[in-house]
Structure 1
Amino acid sequence: MSYCFQCGTKVINKQCNNEGEIPYCNKCEIFHFPTFSSAISAIILNPDKNKLLLIQQYGQVDNIIVAGYINKGENAEQTLVREVKEEIGLNIKDYQYMKSKYFEKTNTLLCNFICTVDSEDLNQTNDEIDKAQWFTFKDALKHIKSESLAEEFLIYALKKMNY
């Protein structure tokens, strides 16, 4: 950050207690702590927990997992339920938090969950989804975007499931 987002004055780095040097606006007399977006991503299992869902979206051919930004006033769990319903039209029966990872490309902290949905019916996907498909765990590992954060979360989830 080079300029104050409130008044436009050039900021300086100033010592802030135990936080180290933080951008500071002399005019507004406030520190500007770094901000970033927060989002969820979801490993989605079918009701029998023997298949998982991969999607393609925005004209891309890579298979990834469902993800979405956390809106103001929401927690990660509420976002998970909303995003799964909005994007693929299914209801979550249960879920478990897995892990988080910072994604530098979009300046986003992703909170990953594994969840089970109430149906395999994919007839209610929204226009953000180009393709949604159920895969066996073995096939999902073959078809997910290689060297992606989605692949990292999938491998982690499958290890936790002792697959």
Structure 2
Amino acid sequence: MIRNKALLVSATVPISAGLLVDTERYFTALDEFRAGDAGPIVRRFAGAARIAATTGTRLVDDLVGVFTDSWERLQGIRAHATARRLIPHFIAQPVVNAKHVQTALGVGEMATLRALDTLSDRGVLRERTGRSRGRVWEHPGVIGVLDEYAETIRRMGRGAGR
């Protein structure tokens, strides 16, 4: 879905999240693999893929919702504006500074600052430092979705130890 909305070129299922549900079992499976028994690590990866498929679908849906909201907040901004071009970059980098934006989009400082101001004024970004120099902006929607995803994985981990 993220790819279809042109937010990403490719989407990766978060298999690592499934592996981290129970790190002790994962590391034990790695040790067994090093000792010559591939069965436990294959089973851990299969279980992790199952967890990733289950939780990854919700993660993608939640991120699509966040980006849909971001696009809606930019109603009236021209289609090729720097602010609009920056939106897809928040999927991989939800916290940015001006230098990162300049490098990522190949634009100058003034275009970057205008875009960041527009995104902040429209409620897409939040400036975190409160300073005039060395500022950092975050996409609170993406951060919120990732925090909720991490909490879901933590809850699964607590349930796995039972």
TM-score range, shorter chain: under 0.3
TM-score normalised according to structure 2 size: 0.23
Indicate the structure with greater strand content.
1
TM-score normalised according to structure 1 size: 0.23
Indicate the structure with greater helix content.
2
